[in-house]
Structure 1
Amino acid sequence: MALEQTLQAARQGDLDVLRSLHAARLLGPSLRDPLDALPVHHAARAGKLHCLRFLVEEAGLPAAASARNGATPAHDAAATGHLSCLMWLLSQGGCRVQDRDNSGATVLHLAARFGHPEVVNWLLRHGGGDPTVATDTGALPLHYAAAKGDFPSLRLLVGHHPE
């Protein structure tokens, strides 16, 4: 009951519910969904920065926790295009731009794979994203952008990796 209520509140941005659950001491790092993602993953995926910050700063959940697939909340924010959450996770939450999931993908790979040129742009210009890093199968971020047909991201990536 507390798990689903927490995950729903994190996804919907319901800070009051999260505060109530925290006051009842029902929030903790053992609160994970079936894929081992924490409420911080769900808040990052939904772009709910205020909930993400509360879960980390007030409830003490780890911002850089990995789900079963190795993804951190930063991976989820990049994959869903939530730049403000990604920026906070990288600057304040302890996530690192070079963190890899179980397939070897970084946040830059995921931003390119799911067609988020604004995230790709920020990672290349300000976030320290490396367009030359390959996944375990040899895929570069520009491969994902090309496969997606995301020409704005592809242009950005080629500009940073012209070979």
Structure 2
Amino acid sequence: MALTLERALLAARQGDVDTLKALQGDGLLEPASLRDPLGASPAHHAARAGKLNCLRYLVEEAGLDGNGRARNGATPGHDAAATGNLACLQWLLTQGGCRVQDTDNSGAMVLHLAARFGHHEVIDWLLRFGGSDPLAATDTGALPVHYAAAKGDFPSLRLLIGHCPR
């Protein structure tokens, strides 16, 4: 089983849909059992790596949850936002089952993670997409603007403050 997990995770990160199809064809791509030590599924790994083709296959064909949770409560949407993979995030929010209001175990939403890691193009899209609350606080009281300010990310700060000047 460990070898199957490693093959699936590597294929998801590398965009290797053929290997995922082969694993599925052999009955080895079991959604419940394929989790890394932190509880992330191949869908999380594909979203992190920006491999939309694999992400779509895993959710649409292999039956993995597009909104499945890792041990820290993160969905693949959280991972896509944290790594700046806008195409994956857009698909996850519009077709993959994730929501902009989904929070991880610390209360962070995708907007918090995009701001924390300085992905202003993701922030811009999230603010235009709707549903992202720039005044939503994590469990520790952090707002997306706090993350952008701490990073010194002026493009993200301008977007967040421009969207919600107070």
For 2:38 and 2:130, the matched residues in 1 are separated by 28
SS of residue matched to 2:28: coil
How far 1:158 moved relative to its partner?
Answer: 0.5
For 1:31 and 1:12, the matched residues in 2 are separated by 17
Map Cα deviations across residues 68-121 of structure 1 (whole Å, 9 max, x no partner).
000000000000000000000000011000000000000000000000000000
Aligned equivalent of 1:4: 6
For 2:45 and 2:70, the matched residues in 1 are separated by 11
Amino acid in structure 2 at the alignment position of 1:123: L
Alignment root-mean-square deviation, CA: 0.7
Aligned equivalent of 1:64: 67
For 2:36 and 2:129, the matched residues in 1 are separated by 32
Q: TM-score, normalised by structure 1?
A: 0.98
How many residues align structurally? Answer: 163
SS of residue matched to 1:98: coil
Amino acid in structure 1 at the alignment position of 2:79: D
Aligned equivalent of 1:15: 17
Taking the TM superposition and a 5 Å limit, the aligned residue runs for 1:113-152 are 113-152=116-155
For 2:130 and 2:46, the matched residues in 1 are separated by 21
Equivalent residue for 1:112, pick from 100, 115, 122: 115
Map Cα deviations across residues 120-145 of structure 1 (whole Å, 9 max, x no partner).
00000114211010000000000000
Do residues 95 (structure 1) and 98 (structure 2) align? yes
Identity %: 74
Give structure 1 stretches of 5+ with no counterpart: none
Q: Which moved more, 1:2-11 or 1:25-34?
A: 25-34
For 2:40 and 2:120, the matched residues in 1 are separated by 26
Check 1:127–1:24 CA distance in 2 against 1; reply closer, same or farther (3 A cut): farther
Q: TM-score, normalised by structure 2?
A: 0.97
Do residues 34 (structure 1) and 25 (structure 2) align? no
How far 1:2 moved relative to its partner?
Answer: 0.3
For 1:123 and 1:157, the matched residues in 2 are separated by 10
